[in-house]
Amino acid sequence: MSRLLFWIAIAILVVMAVRSKLRSLMDDGQPAAPGPDTRARAGAGTGSAQAQVAEVERMACCAGCGLHFPASEAVVADGREYCSAAHARVASH
């Protein structure tokens, strides 16, 4: 009976060691995408979780090709938004 408990304990320790190693390998790479529970934990000590979430930028649609891109990168011509100066020039001709 004691041998069985010994091998069960060894198996549990091996599983825990493998899981720990896998977690450390994942943490060394790129950080995981924040889920709803991680955002809530991040804001728990410093205020609301809403304050921790970055502001989302408005997306614009190119009038020439239909590509969606950040509005801060838009080239405006004739009241329309374009993804590049080349598309603005082609549309104006």
Q: How many CB atoms lie within 10 A of CB 62?
A: 19
- Based on the domain organization, do 16 and 50 belong to the same domain? yes
Tally of domains in the chain: 2
Closest of 87, 54, 89, 59 to residue 72, by C-alpha: 59
pTM, full prediction: 0.42
* Residue span of the structural domain in which 90 resides: 56-93
Q: Taking 70 as the threshold, does the pLDDT of residue 57 lie above it?
A: yes
- Based on the domain organization, do 1 and 38 belong to the same domain? yes
- Based on the domain organization, do 10 and 44 belong to the same domain? yes
What is the residue-averaged pLDDT of the chain? 80
Quote the percentage of the chain above a pLDDT of 70.
71
- Based on the domain organization, do 39 and 77 belong to the same domain? no
